[in-house]
Structure 1
Amino acid sequence: MAILELDKVSKSFGAVKVIGDLSFQVPDHSVFGFIGKNGAGKTTTMKMILGFLQQDSGVIHVCGEKVSYGNTKANRNIGYLPDVPEFYGYMNPKEYLKLCGEITGLKKEIIQSRTKELLELVGLDGVNRRIHGFSRGMKQRLGIAQALLNEPKLLICDEPTSALDPMGRKEILDILSLAKNKTTILFSTHILSDVERICDRIGVLNQGKLVLEGDVSDIKHKYRKDTVRVEVGKSFQPEKAADGLRKLTAVTNVRTDNRIIEIQVHNAEDSGADILAFLLKEAVPVIRYEIMEPSLENVFLQVVV
């Protein structure tokens, strides 16, 4: 079942077309990585999903319900974490979630149970400090708790890790991985390593158009360029072996850098015996031999120009 569906959605600001005929679906209980350079149109798309902006054409459905600009009932199924969440700084986390629950009409006992559950999930249980003293990472974690308070079917996260240090990013990604068990997540970002870590599917947005969509594993396999990486001993010059490696039938390209030889081949597993036989014959002092896994960064650079 698709929790979110966009069908030929377009949006222009004056003469500038920001989104053009955008169509994709996000399956239930998945994490969909919405990828693109800054200015690609990701935030504009999310604002249309939330009903904050009106699309020029096309249709958006959340849980089968059509999104309407300005006053959309579909938002009762959505939790939203903006890139810079705002809070009442004089409150502590429990007070803030209590206020949010009351505003949305939740019963007192539900607010209490959900607050306890969510503060444990985001690692803020027992924190009674005022929010104005929170770090950026703590505010992002509280923002996730607030966005999940109503048990939404869809959680939209706009660049949730972009301004965090490595530890803060890890904390947010761990939380989202756990939240996936209870909701569906649209994860907008330009940090490809984060996408590779938690996303099941991706959509790559470039100049307002979706240039790539699918399962992460399928996409990496499709765009795979097999590369063997060989590290040689300090006393050996890699270029000495490069010319001979280039003559091997299975090798398409060889690049050297310091003590590293990178060998592109048609199939790394089938070519391994020939490469190793050559290195042994030439007495190349091999310190490490590995087949490089394709990365989303390499795929992104191929489809976005």
Structure 2
Amino acid sequence: MDMLTLSHVAKHFGEKQVLNDVCLHVPEHTVFGFVGQNGAGKTTSMKLILGLLACDSGEIEVNGMPVRYGNTATNRFIGYLPDVPEFYSFMTPREYLRFCGEITGMPTKEIKNRSQELLELVGLAEEKRRIKGFSRGMKQRLGIAQALLNRPKLLICDEPTSALDPVGRKELLDILVEAKEQTTVLFSTHILSDVERICDELAFLHDGKIAVQGTMEEVRKIRKATGTELEMEDRQGIEKLRRAFPFLKLIGSHRLLLENPEQLPDILHFLADKKMPVLRIERREPTLEDLFMEVIGK
């Protein structure tokens, strides 16, 4: 079953068309990467899903129910983590989760048990400090706990790792992978390495349209291997190869790139004849970055 579907969704702001005939489907219990450049329309899409903006045309469904602009009933299925979550800084994490649970009508015992469970999940179970003393990464982790408090069927994360350091990003991504057991994660980002690490499926949004969509395996197959890397033991070997085969591209002090695989046998014969030591010959697999740059025409 698809937890989220967008069918032929369009959105204008004045004369600017932000989204144009967007069709998207997000299966249950997946981490779905929603990828696009800054300004591609990702945040606008999130606001439409949350009913904070009205579609000009098209339909959006969450858990099989239509999203309606305004006070939409589908938001009871959704947890939301913005790129910069805000908190009452004078509270501790546990106090903040209790406050959120009380205003949504959760029973006191359930708030206590669920808060403990989530604070353990995000690594804040022993944290007694006020939120005002938290780092950006700690606030993002608390934001995930708050978003999961009411056991949502869909967790929307809008650029959650964009301003985190490498350690904070790793911690957050690990949490999202664990959260997949409880919910479906829609992960909006422009950081392609994060998508490759945790996402089951993804879609590229470009110029207001979905340019590519599928599982990670399907998307990688769209673009063939980008060449073969040769790593030599010394700089002399690099220079000999480049003199014999000028089409080889230097991509490092000891590495060369061969783009045409039909020329590889000739190079291998040359290496064998000259008895040149080689550290590595490896097919270069396409990356999401390669495909994304192709999609946006760079």
Q: TM-score, normalised by structure 2?
A: 0.94
Distance 1:132 1:204, change over 3 A: same
Find the aligned partners of 1:183 and 1:272 in 2 and give their Cα distance: 47
Q: Quick one: which amino acid aligns to residue 45 of structure 2?
A: T
Contact 2:93 2:131 in 1 (8 A): yes
Counterpart of 2:127 in 1: which secondary structure? coil
Correspondent of 1:288 among 277, 280, 292: 280
Question: 1:241 Cα deviation (Å)?
Answer: 1.8
Find the aligned partners of 2:97 and 2:295 in 1 and give their Cα distance: 42
Counterpart of 2:85 in 1: which secondary structure? coil
Counterpart of 2:161 in 1: which secondary structure? coil
Find the aligned partners of 1:66 and 1:266 in 2 and give their Cα distance: 51
Aligned to 1:200: 200
Q: Equivalences for 1:24-39 in 2 at 5 Å?
A: 24-39=24-39
Aligned to 2:248: 254
Find the aligned partners of 1:2 and 1:241 in 2 and give their Cα distance: 53
Distance 1:123 1:236, change over 3 A: same
Find the aligned partners of 1:94 and 1:291 in 2 and give their Cα distance: 51
Contact 1:234 1:259 in 2 (8 A): yes
Find the aligned partners of 2:268 and 2:226 in 1 and give their Cα distance: 16
1:278 aligns with 2:270: yes
Question: 1:291 Cα deviation (Å)?
Answer: 2.3
Q: Quick one: which amino acid aligns to residue 26 of structure 2?
A: V
Contact 2:258 2:264 in 1 (8 A): no
Find the aligned partners of 2:181 and 2:290 in 1 and give their Cα distance: 29
Q: Quick one: which amino acid aligns to residue 129 of structure 2?
A: R
Deviations 1:143-202 (A, max 9, x none): 000000010010000000000000000000000010011110100000000000000111
Aligned to 1:263: 258
Aligned to 2:41: 41
Contact 2:225 2:283 in 1 (8 A): no
Q: Quick one: which amino acid aligns to residue 46 of structure 2?
A: M
Deviations 1:93-133 (A, max 9, x none): 00000010111111111111110000000000011100011
Contact 1:236 1:284 in 2 (8 A): no
Question: 1:289 Cα deviation (Å)?
Answer: 2.4
Q: Quick one: which amino acid aligns to residue 255 of structure 2?
A: I
Q: Quick one: which amino acid aligns to residue 304 of structure 1?
A: I
Find the aligned partners of 2:111 and 2:261 in 1 and give their Cα distance: 58
Q: Equivalences for 1:142-181 in 2 at 5 Å?
A: 142-181=142-181
Find the aligned partners of 1:167 and 1:197 in 2 and give their Cα distance: 14
Q: Quick one: which amino acid aligns to residue 20 of structure 1?
A: N
Segments of 5+ residues of structure 2 without an aligned counterpart are: none
Contact 1:33 1:199 in 2 (8 A): yes
Counterpart of 2:240 in 1: which secondary structure? helix
Counterpart of 2:43 in 1: which secondary structure? helix
Backbone CA RMSD of aligned residues: 1.7
Contact 1:239 1:256 in 2 (8 A): no
Find the aligned partners of 2:245 and 2:214 in 1 and give their Cα distance: 35
Q: Quick one: which amino acid aligns to residue 82 of structure 1?
A: P
Deviations 1:195-252 (A, max 9, x none): 0000011110111111111111111122122422111133415253246557xxxxxx
Find the aligned partners of 1:145 and 1:244 in 2 and give their Cα distance: 60
Greater mean deviation of Cα atoms: 61-70 or 288-297: 288-297
Greater mean deviation of Cα atoms: 72-81 or 225-234: 225-234
Q: TM-score, normalised by structure 1?
A: 0.92
Counterpart of 1:68 in 2: which secondary structure? coil
Counterpart of 1:203 in 2: which secondary structure? strand
Aligned to 2:141: 141
Contact 2:235 2:254 in 1 (8 A): no
Question: 1:51 Cα deviation (Å)?
Answer: 0.4
Paired-residue identity, %: 54
Find the aligned partners of 1:217 and 1:191 in 2 and give their Cα distance: 18
Number of residue pairs the alignment of both structures matches: 296
Aligned to 1:249: none
Q: Quick one: which amino acid aligns to residue 276 of structure 1?
A: L
Find the aligned partners of 1:55 and 1:235 in 2 and give their Cα distance: 59
Q: Quick one: which amino acid aligns to residue 98 of structure 2?
A: K
Aligned to 1:250: none
